[in-house]
A and B are shown apart, each in its own frame.
Chain A
Amino acid sequence: MTVDNEALALQTEGISKHFGAVRAVDELSLSIPRQGTTSIVGPNGSGKSTLVNLLSGVLPLDGGMVIIDGVGLRVVHAHETPAHGLTRTFQEVRLFDQITVWDNIMVVLTERSLFPSLIERVRPAKRRKAQEILESVGMWEKQDSLAMELSYGQRKLLEIGRAMAMDVQTYLFDEPFAGLFPQMLERVKDIMKQMRTDGYTIVFVSHNMDIVRELSDRIIVLDSGALLAAGDVEPVLGSAEVIEAYLGA
């Protein structure tokens, strides 16, 4: 892939994360261009989720540098990532369980700093925005339910809705399709296709190769915390080393 730095949404330079003796991510350097969809695939334990956690500041880096939107960071603070135009969903859905669906969306639309947020009451503009988001993920009727009362698929959708409400440039979706019924799966696919058309940058982790082929513009293959291959989908998936890594030949 040859792209100039201007067009990069995300870049890593030799980032590492070790858990004891396990090198979950090891000296990994990769780049993800702006706009379109990039999928991250790899066998179990290849470091996909760890990578997403490092990029979003959920896990601290052991080494290397993350470059988000042209800004190089040796320490990624989770609370600063939205300011760099980045948000995410979690592999194991992490909603705010004991508050309502409505508040789950509303909470990411409100004032970030302390004193303004103390005075702020919900204004119609934000109300409309929340309604728009909830309708787009088909959760408007559920607005008064607690998030914990939703089905698994609904929770996945709500989490994606919450990320969309952030309205940033780059979205990291960690396993957005895992465990979904076909109907829900189509819905999530439609949302991602729409976001791609709207010019957002989407990075998603998936095990489902059919969806990866259908949705990705580019693909990154990880194995044992290192970059195995990256580039256009078909050549990468057809290459001998990727096939070997997957089949464990």
Chain B
Amino acid sequence: MPVNFEGIREFARIAQDPQELVRHARGNIELWANLFVIGWAVAFMLWQGFGFAVIVGTVFAIWAILAVSLNLVVGFTGLLSVGHIGFFGLGAYTMAILTSDPAYEQLRTEAIPTFGWPFFAALPVCIGLAGLTAVLVGVVFNRFRDDIFVLVSFGFAIIAFNVFLNLRSVTRGAFGIHEIARPEIGGWVFDGEVEFLLLALVFLGLVMLVSWFITTSSFGRVLTAIREDEQAIEVFGYRATHFKLAVWVISAMMTGLAGGLFASWTTFIDPNSFILLESVLLVSIVILGGLATIWGSLLGAMAFVLLEEGMRFIPYLPTEYIGQARQVVLGILLVLLMLFRPQGLVGRYRL
């Protein structure tokens, strides 16, 4: 959904009268969801201190780019893709291979070609390669929809993971790739966490802008019509397959960008970051925030990251269980969400 200026103005008007505000807030779940997640984020930052909040912020920015781009496909077009992690991994590996430091001492048996490119030269390649792969995959995937589409995109995620794991001459397999370059402009390196956070937020802003531009255009309206009834929109003179392919490729390119950003941030990647579960979590974020709303994807990503990172500090729980406990809690929350608010925190549409 585009930025709702009308809504903001309306809210500003209501906010002037406290009684009116209270009356309005009661029963307005969207408002509560917004206040809750943002309040939670602020509280978290105050509690954990600035340094950790910056890292959590970067994790949030990367998940948010992923969620916004996936929402174009899942929320607006109605194609439930669980394969986007493949594009994410592709972007990350492209960045890793192109920028990893050739001077880094490799195990001779697991040596891969390195190029030592700078970040900003490699990023367009990440985006382009993800886009190109999406065209090839999308031409086939266009034949499917609904539940079958879920299955074939599942297949794509599996294939991508196995390529990352087993194409050892390119990806070093389970050893992973080290010494991935940090972004750098004219000799100034984004090596600090704050600098990287700002860069990630700039990219998030760009992705949101592109998504906003797409979803508010006639193209965006056609996407929602495809989601509702693909055959009917064909009768009115649209080639649904072209529109689906276009949005799929755009979404994959943004996802590839997120991958490049992620690799550069962690400076080390291995196939474990690109397992199917991550893809499922990503879909959960989109549904949690709300389908077909850009703001909802931000909120969903924020809530998810706070949940993930925040639960590191659950008291009384032995550390060895915390990892699993987080996923259990997330699973329970998703079930509750589907029971009581299937349209997500701020969404209007359902799958």
Contacts and interface: CB of A to CB of B under 8 A. Distances in A.
Interface of A: 56-58, 78-83, 87-88, 90, 94-99, 103, 106-108, 110-112, 114, 117-122, 146, 162, 166
A101 to B, nearest CB: 13
A79 B218 contact: no
Interface SS of chain B: helix, strand, loop or mixed? helix
A79 B222 contact: no
Interface in B266-322: none
B234 A79 contact: yes
B234 A99 contact: no
B166 interface: no
Interface string B215-244: 011110110110111011111111110110
Contacts of B217: 117-121
Given A98-B224, A120-B218, A79 B231 contact: no
A166 B236 contact: yes
A82 B236 contact: yes
Contacts of A94: 229, 231-232
Nearest to B250: A118
B24 interface: no
Contacts of B229: 94-97
Interface of A is mostly: loop
A117 B231 contact: no
Given A87-B236, A98-B227, A103-B221, A121 B216 contact: yes
15 contacts: A57-B234, A58-B235, A79-B240, A81-B235, A82-B236, A94-B232, A96-B225, A97-B228, A98-B228, A103-B225, A107-B221, A114-B243, A118-B246, A120-B217, A120-B218
B71 to A, nearest CB: 15
A154 B238 CA distance: 25
Contact of A87 (B225, B235, B238): B235
B222 A117 contact: yes
Given A98-B349, A120-B218, A121-B217, A107 B235 contact: no
A99 B232 CA distance: 14
A103 B224 contact: yes
Contacts of A88: 235
A105 to B, nearest CB: 11
A110 B224 contact: no
B214 interface: yes
Contacts of B13: none
Given A117-B217, A118-B217, A79 B228 contact: no
Contact of B237 (A58, A82, A122): A82
Contact of A117 (B218, B232, B240, B350): B218
A118 B218 CA distance: 6
B239 A79 contact: yes
A56 B233 CA distance: 12
B238 A79 contact: yes
A85 to B, nearest CB: 11
Contacts, number: 93
Contacts of A78: 231, 234-235
B219 A107 contact: no
Contacts of B237: 79-83, 108, 112, 166
Contacts of A166: 236-237
Interface string B237-260: 111101100100000000000000
Contacts of A121: 216-218
Given A117-B222, A120-B217, A162-B236, 9 more contacts: A78-B234, A78-B235, A87-B235, A98-B228, A99-B228, A110-B218, A110-B221, A111-B218, A117-B217
Contact of B233 (A83, A107, A119): A107
B69 to A, nearest CB: 16
Nearest to A119: B217
B224 A96 contact: yes
Contacts of A117: 217-219, 222
A12 B221 CA distance: 35
Nearest to B213: A118
B311 to A, nearest CB: 34
A71 to B, nearest CB: 15
Contacts of B246: 114, 118
A99 B218 contact: no
Contacts of A108: 236-237
Nearest to B291: A98
A75 B157 CA distance: 36
A18 to B, nearest CB: 20
A122 B217 CA distance: 8
B239 A107 contact: no
A125 to B, nearest CB: 14
A159 B217 CA distance: 23
Task: Among A83, A95, A99, A122, find the residue whose CB has the most chain B CB atoms closer than 10 A.
Answer: A99
A184 B237 CA distance: 28
Contacts of A106: 221
